[in-house]
Amino acid sequence: MLKYEDKIKKQLNIQRDSIVKPLPFPFDLNYFTETGLFLTSCPQHGKTNMAKWVVDYLMRCGWIVKVFDPSKAWLNSTIPTYQSVDNKATWQRLINPISISTVFDVARIYPQWIPEFCSLIIQQDFELISHLPYLLPWNIAYLFEECQFSMPSGSLRGTKYQEVLRVVSLGANFKLRYLAITQRPADTSTKMISRTGQKYVGCFFEDNDIGKLRKYFNWKQKEAWENLSSLEKGEFYYGMRDKIEKIETPLFTKEREPQYLEKPSFWKQLFG
């Protein structure tokens, strides 16, 4: 399996850039390696556009990124491969590459199955990494697009969410980190949000969402409403430790059509 991955990786020419240009907005890679990232705004206000900047930067820094995408927003990005996820009977036939960035397109499965699929992929990675006598020479980042499906409010106490909880709580010890993106923070796990060290919050009008987000910036409800409801598309408040900064994100335009990652037949694996 690793030989097959290495072959694909060589074909795709995936490697760490020798010179990595900084992002056009604040982002601390070292702090992300420790704590993860949370990104939220109301629909169509630029959160996935910002996430594509971050993912592209991570890959240029040598990270492997795995995206769980129920929205089909990631089929146009710089991630080189993708796989389409269907019913549960087909899951075991999917490739879970440990050394290739890929998009798992989960748009065709029921939302209630998304946490189970995410857990399957994370468990496979953890089983491999935890049995190695050394850590991988690269980091892995999981991106949960519309994470209200994969990490709903109060969910991380549940049995089927324990693999996700392990990434949130212990992932840094195994070079596993996460990016969580949602349009509905009120329906998203508070335990996960509170453990992210960098937060990007865009435009909101809904009281429940604003009420949940304001505590991370030490705003009163009225102040939070005025700040967040006035943001334009692509504008966010960035929070890290005691730092709060209003930022703008340019349009991400570097895209390429990803290759469909297909498991070869027995004969193809045997004879190349």
Q: What is the DSSP string of 125-174?
A: HHHHHHTSSS--SS-EEEEETTTTTTSBTTGGGSGGGHHHHHHHHHGGGG
Output the pLDDT for position 268. Answer: 44
Ramachandran area for residue 46 (φ above 0: left; ψ -120 to 50: alpha; else beta)? left
Output the pLDDT for position 1. Answer: 44
* Phi, psi (deg, nearest 5) at residue 25: -150, 165
Output the pLDDT for position 5. Answer: 56
Output the pLDDT for position 121. Answer: 95
Residue 230 amino acid letter: S
Helical packing angle, 162-170 and 114-130, nearest 10°: 50
Output the pLDDT for position 9. Answer: 54
For residue 115 the two structure tokens come to: 């946490």
Q: Are 145 and 43 in contact (CB under 8 A)?
A: no
Cα–Cα distance between 39 and 64 in angstroms, integer?
Answer: 19
Output the pLDDT for position 67. Answer: 97
Cα–Cα distance between 238 and 248 in angstroms, integer?
Answer: 10
Output the pLDDT for position 132. Answer: 84
Helix (H, G, I), strand (E, B) or coil at 112: helix
For residue 219, CA distances in Å to 142, 187, 202, 222, 223 come to 30, 20, 15, 8, 6
For residue 11 the two structure tokens come to: 């074909």
Output the pLDDT for position 16. Answer: 62
Partnered with residue 83 across adjacent β-strands are 104
Matching CATH number, 2-8+25-271, of 3.40.50.1010, 2.60.40.10, 3.40.50.300, 1.10.150.120: 3.40.50.300
Q: Are 177 and 139 in contact (CB under 8 A)?
A: yes
Cα–Cα distance between 148 and 16 in angstroms, integer?
Answer: 32
For residue 129, CA distances in Å to 30, 101, 120, 134 come to 21, 16, 14, 8
Output the pLDDT for position 270. Answer: 44
**Residue 31 exposed, middle or buried by CB count within 10 Å (0-12, 13-18, 19+):** middle
Over its length of 272 residues, how does the chain's per-residue pLDDT go in tens digits? 445 555 555 545 555 666 789 999 999 999 999 999 999 999 999 999 999 999 999 999 999 999 999 999 998 899 999 999 998 888 878 888 888 999 999 999 999 999 999 999 999 999 999 888 788 889 999 999 999 999 999 999 888 899 999 999 999 999 999 999 999 999 999 999 999 999 999 999 999 999 999 999 999 999 999 999 999 999 999 999 999 999 999 999 987 777 887 665 444 444 44
| Greatest extent of the chain over all pairs of C-alpha atoms, in Å | 67
43-45-50-52 Cα dihedral, nearest 10 degrees: 50
Q: Are 44 and 80 in contact (CB under 8 A)?
A: no
Could you tell me how many residues make up the chain?
272
